[in-house]
Chain A
Amino acid sequence: MTQHASAFPHKRFFLEMFTRDISVEDCILDLIDNSVDALIRTRNIQVSSLLRNGRPTKGKATRIPTVEFTHSPNQVAVIDNCGGIPNDLVLNDVFSFGHTPEYELGALGAYGVGLKRALFKLGRHFVLESRTPTGGFRVSLDVEKWSLKDSSPEDWYIPVSFIEGVGHEVDAGTSIRITHLRPEVIQRFRDPMTLKRLHDLVGQAYALFLGKHVRAFVDAKAVEPLTVPLGESSEVNAGVDEFAKGGVKVTLLTSLAPRDDQGEWLQDKAGWYVFCNGRLVVAADKSDLTGWGIPPLPAWHSKYRGFVGMALFQSDDPLALPWTTTKRDLNRESPIYQYARERMAILARPVMTFLNRMYPSEPQEVPADRRIADRVKPISISQVAARKSGPFVAKQTPTGEQLATVRVQYDATKEELDRIRRRLGKTRMSATRIGRHTLDYFLKRECPR
């Protein structure tokens, strides 16, 4: 005789287990994803144009929508005027776990888990209010109380009250207020580093949206978008590759980073930046996730700190994109990502060849190549992305120029170098640069042409 085993879900699973694999910061990003998705939907933003468009003029910039995160010991809130959630979505989609096949996915909301997971992870009570120009709804839920009844599918319904719309697009938006915060969330926010981290993560995740389509604030502080340090010069051309596969369009860019004001490359800025539908998923990655250590790319080494690569995946079907449900990691099994990673490595290789040539033996740089690297300046990514595909090129220095230089080497104590660094106020200046600087100083003072 056949009997049937229960495979029904339990609320406890969603409240206690489901929320374990995500950080507080990523929960906030999930809530902001909802705002950005509303923005894309209501303002008809083309994800494919994110790279191409520049920033709006100052006057216009102050009129673009905002999304604000605020927190106090009792509450975290994300409030936007990004257009709101249409009423027809609230009854069957906004609160269900996962989407029905008929649901029209947003650009960022792919899995139908982010909002719920964030609400449950952060606190025990929430109020979600959303208004479009024509309608609105309000949900106020005591999660603790709601979780007590869990014996039939009816117990999973959440009460919704419909309210009036705001009449015009400018004020249309969503506010989410979560109270009765979980103790671990309060604890995380007690650490000031959490807010700083969140601030940086928002600047990273929405780098392509901020300033152009939306302004973001974390505890009233405006968030500046992360700038991917991609550079070029008259001698250096970025590598560009574009292809489409399985409904996903991929744009790849590789080049050298511009040096900072101390003439150095910053190791923490180097690596691959991977975007899915405009949202940054992985920043400055130097691991095997982006191909490092998998032939033909070498394992990451500090001599590659001048390398910067961007990989942009776009699709109308966000499920085809290679991001994980937290959208802060890549799905290594994704066929499009497996393929793209090989092409990323191929586009990156000429940059490695240049850097290998530049640093035949650490820490000295080949002078001619150093001059090429010094001249690399920040560039507009939109301009590079609009260019035809082609490899990274760093024009080789003519042999004559190389022969005209002599390598100067001598020992100096660490204390001597530190004294010079302190005098110049450049605490990270390399020994090589100090050598060059002091030589230039003498040449200028004592040997004028």
Chain B
Amino acid sequence: MKSLAQSYLGVNYELRPAKQVERRMIIDALHTLSLQGLQIRDYQYTGFGSVYFVDFVLFHRLLGIQRMLSVEADTTIEKRVRFNKPFKHIDIEMVPAGDVIPALSRDLRHLLWLDYDDRLLDTHLSDVRMAAFHLSRGSIILVTVDVEPPGDSCSDPQEWYAYYQRQAGNLFDEAWNLQDFAAGKLPGVTGALLARAIDSGLAARPEIKFWPLFKFLYADGHQMLTLGGMLGGDEERRLIDGSKLNDACYMRLDPDAPPYEIRVPKVTRKERLYLDQHMPCCNGWHPPEFEFSADSVEAYREIYRFFPAYAELLL
């Protein structure tokens, strides 16, 4: 049986449309920030490249990031990881993320994506807290976790409450009750815990705040939550405010805002070509040629710029 952490065996990372939309939206936002003066090319990207390195390829090609570090805790696939490394300049560390974060240089700005594929664990919160304390001003932290209810299909909110209480330790909000742990509220609880871990890490750095940028919710199978933002002071806040990022539908600059849900309508190649010809469409537009709900039109209008095209390639 494969563990959650071995999801790379079950899912081809290159074929997860919602995840890919998320990556493209993040790149779009970082690009927008770089137009405002953010030197994203000089950042170090640290992520979990696994054996696919999709994010590494995109960040290098589209953002020009040169300094890259991929972290992999599963030492049994070390050769595979190294074999699949797409560029020479990517460093590989075969250790848990928590061992790498303290070693990230304080002299560099970092783009750190803790892209976990399992449900929230105490070690995740510890990593996030440590990153918030350790990373230099201007660094960007992204955290992704699975927000499906923990336990088997028979488990209930009582068990989920106990699970999150155990993982959160002192970060748990004692004001929470069972109602807060209904299945539909788990993304909210997870987001709150990640935010509390960041606040805890920043408690000793009063000059630094966490400026939220992203809060994505999506599912290519399991429902996942990504929280992201920048560590900084007033200067970084001005940069974000001046960038017009707030106009983008996927941005979440307000920490209390609900997540942006990435919805990827299922369309055929022919439908897609048709829809693209009419994008961006006006409110109320719908394709007269085929059935497509108003919701789907709206979802498509939001993601079409970031939507990957898949096709079979005969090599």
Contacts and interface: CB of A to CB of B under 8 A. Distances in A.
Interface string A75-105: 0000000000000000000000000000000
Contacts of A318: none
A296 B127 CA distance: 7
Contact of A349 (B99, B129, B197, B203): B99
Contacts of A335: 204, 206
Contact of A295 (B125, B205, B206): B125
B102 A391 contact: yes
A339 interface: yes
Contacts of B204: 335, 338-339, 341-342
A53 interface: no
A346 interface: yes
A347 interface: yes
The interface residues of chain B, by DSSP majority, are classed as helix
B205 A339 contact: yes
A350 interface: yes
A350 B203 CA distance: 23
Contacts of B129: 295-296
Contacts of A349: 98-99, 102, 130
Nearest to A348: B102
A346 B169 CA distance: 19
Given A296-B129, A335-B206, A346 B102 contact: yes
Interface residues of B, number: 23
A342 B102 contact: no
B49 interface: no
Nearest to A342: B133
A353 interface: yes
A338 B129 CA distance: 14
A339 B130 CA distance: 12
B98 A296 contact: yes
A296 B205 contact: no
B122 A295 contact: yes
Contacts of A294: 170
Contacts of A338: 203-204
Interface in A365-411: 391
B228 interface: no
A350 B99 contact: yes
Given A296-B130, A342-B133, A346-B134, A353 B102 contact: no
B133 A346 contact: yes
Q: Which one of B134, B169, B204 has the greatest number of beta carbons of chain A within 10 Å?
A: B204
Nearest to B95: A353
Interface string B193-206: 00001001101111
A346 B102 CA distance: 6
Nearest to A299: B169
Interface in B113-127: 122, 125-127
A379 to B, nearest CB: 22
Given A338-B203, A339-B205, A349-B99, 17 more contacts: A295-B126, A295-B129, A295-B130, A296-B102, A296-B130, A335-B206, A338-B204, A341-B204, A342-B134, A342-B201, A346-B101, A346-B130, A346-B133, A346-B134, A350-B99, A353-B99, A391-B103
5 contacts: A339-B204, A342-B133, A342-B201, A346-B102, A346-B134
